């Protein structure tokens, strides 16, 4: 997979290191090149409007948890494989995933989704809370 486009890392860093954007979306150009498909400030709801049921997409989402002095930034890597993605394209995901992880490197957890219902904001927040609780016990 071709991940040479410098805009990939730039979009990732905008979400990770700045407050300008809270999500970035990556997808295919052709069958083997990863490109930036979009980014935004509207969180999960805005990101979901970009997901198509016949595409494989990779997203990086920043979520804020906690309140005031306990506020924390958490990151979710979303692997979107729409319901109508052909079997051959689905199979390529496992081969391309390690390349994508060279761009999307730091995240709290990975979420695989096939439908918009799989991306429920409260469920994501609950998962992040569980992970935080586990980390505090150790």
Averaged pLDDT, groups of 10, the chain, 138 residues long: 96 92 96 96 97 97 83 92 95 94 94 97 89 50
Strand order across the 56-65 sheet: 33-40, 23-29, 56-65, 72-81, 109-113
Q: 74 exposed, middle or buried (CB, 10 Å; 0-12, 13-18, 19+)?
A: buried
Say whether pTM exceeds 0.85: yes
- As a whole number of angstroms, the distance between CA 98 and CA 23 comes to 20
């Amino acid at each position: 997979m071709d991940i040479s486009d410098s805009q990939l890392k730039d979009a990732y860093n905008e979400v990770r290191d700045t407050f300008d954007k809270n999500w970035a979306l990556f997808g295919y150009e052709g069958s083997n090149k990863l490109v930036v498909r979009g980014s935004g400030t509207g969180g999960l709801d805005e990101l979901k409007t970009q997901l198509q049921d016949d595409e494989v997409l990779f997203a990086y989402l920043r979520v804020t948890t906690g309140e005031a002095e306990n506020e924390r930034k958490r990151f979710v890597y979303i692997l979107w494989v729409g319901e109508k993605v052909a079997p051959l394209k689905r199979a390529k995901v496992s081969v391309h995933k390690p390349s994508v992880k060279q761009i999307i490197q730091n995240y709290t957890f990975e979420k695989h989704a096939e439908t918009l219902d799989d991306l429920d904001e409260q469920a994501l927040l609950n998962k992040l809370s569980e992970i935080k609780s586990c980390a505090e016990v150790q």
